Structure 1
Amino acid sequence: MLDRFVVVPASYLYLLREGARGPEVLLQLRQGTGYMDGHWAAAAAGHIERGESAPQAAAREATEELGIADVALDFELTMHRTQGHAPIDERVDFLFSARSWSGEPRLMEPDKASELAWCPLAALPEPTVPHERIALAHLGAGTGYLSLGFENAG
């Protein structure tokens, strides 16, 4: 029998606005999740559920994690990532941005994040989740696809 791997899909939403020092992104400080706690990350992100599209997942996460609706999603890029030869599931992340939504973003899951903050894109806080730091550097660049952790990645 073949040893098949699993690809885990997720959607990330980066809310953007113009700040005094240029573009800002809304980030959350992770806590209590067991993954990258103490790191800054997308204010809304999560696994795509069965029967759900990537944009639907991003919109759902916006409501669940930030209490906002009517999010005008812009597709940014897809990131396919792994950790080299480590025996982990591969990840496929669909990244979206938005500059328009209804409601005021607020922390809806305080057991998973301790803080929300608008951060300058040019000066992200430390520490930021490493693969998200890379993704944030590509917002608006028309990159389309990124791969991380693969030998001879194209």
Structure 2
Amino acid sequence: MRNGELSSAHQDQLEHDRFRVVPAAYVILRRDDQVLLQLRSNTGYRDDHWAMGAAGHVEQGESVFRAACREAFEELGVEVEESNLQPVTAMHRTNRDADRRNNGIDERVDFFFSTERWKGKPRTMEPEKSAGLDWFALDELPEPVVPHELAVLMALRAEFHGSGDVPRIMSHGW
């Protein structure tokens, strides 16, 4: 190794420490102007807030489409085929409060999908993490809704009424 060069292991560690992002998949079950929301409970994140019916981290080696289908099944007991997932938006976000707790690293990339086609009746599959599940019109959303998810729902509402489009990429918390 020459003066000023980093070992391969040290370079890899620096790259790993420099930047981490957590990918997640969200599934918005829709019936016309209604969306299925779940009331978070005992999760440690935004408890007592309404959230998308199904969402979760993409696992290593898993596509975001596969993750969306898996989460829909795990959280709602419904089967969604990848071909029935309609991309809504991708969101790059951060949580400044969490940044201080995580040494400045809390960046996420969320992939939002919607579908009007699934097999099975949506139901709460993780009652220890959910205090309720219900359909809401986009014009009559409950309060409170997880803030970054509310931004997506508001864009969907504008698109539904013909007064705007959902951006292909959104950011939140910057």
TM-score by length of 1: 0.89
Deviation at 1:84, TM superposition (A): 4.6
Structure 1 residues 1-150: aligned runs within 5 Å: 2=14, 3-18=17-32, 23-71=33-81, 72-84=84-96, 86=99, 87-139=104-156, 141-150=165-174
Q: Give SS of 2:134's match.
A: strand
Q: Give SS of 1:138's match.
A: helix
Q: Report the identity percentage.
A: 53
Q: Give SS of 2:69's match.
A: helix
| Larger helix percent | 2
CA RMSD of aligned residues (A): 1.6
Q: Which of structures 1 and 2 has the bigger CA Rg?
A: 2
Kindly provide the CA deviation profile for residues 17-37 of structure 1, in whole angstroms up to 9, marking residues without a partner as x.
Answer: 03xxxx110000000100000
- How many correspondences in the alignment? 146
Kindly provide the CA deviation profile for residues 80-136 of structure 1, in whole angstroms up to 9, marking residues without a partner as x.
Answer: 001358323200000000001111000000011111000111121000001000011
Unaligned runs of 5+ in 2: 1-9, 160-164
Unaligned runs of 5+ in 1: none
Question: Relative to structure 1, is the Cα distance of residues 111 and 84 closer, same or farther in structure 2, using a 3 angstrom cutoff?
Answer: closer
Residues 30, 113 of structure 1: 8 Å contact kept? yes
Q: Give SS of 2:18's match.
A: coil
Instruction: Tell me the distance in 1 between the aligned counterparts of 2:143 and 2:88.
Output: 23
Residues 5, 89 of structure 1: 8 Å contact kept? no
Instruction: Tell me the distance in 1 between the aligned counterparts of 2:95 and 2:54.
Output: 23
Residues 69, 102 of structure 1: 8 Å contact kept? yes
Question: Relative to structure 1, is the Cα distance of residues 127 and 99 closer, same or farther in structure 2, using a 3 angstrom cutoff?
Answer: same
TM-score by length of 2: 0.79
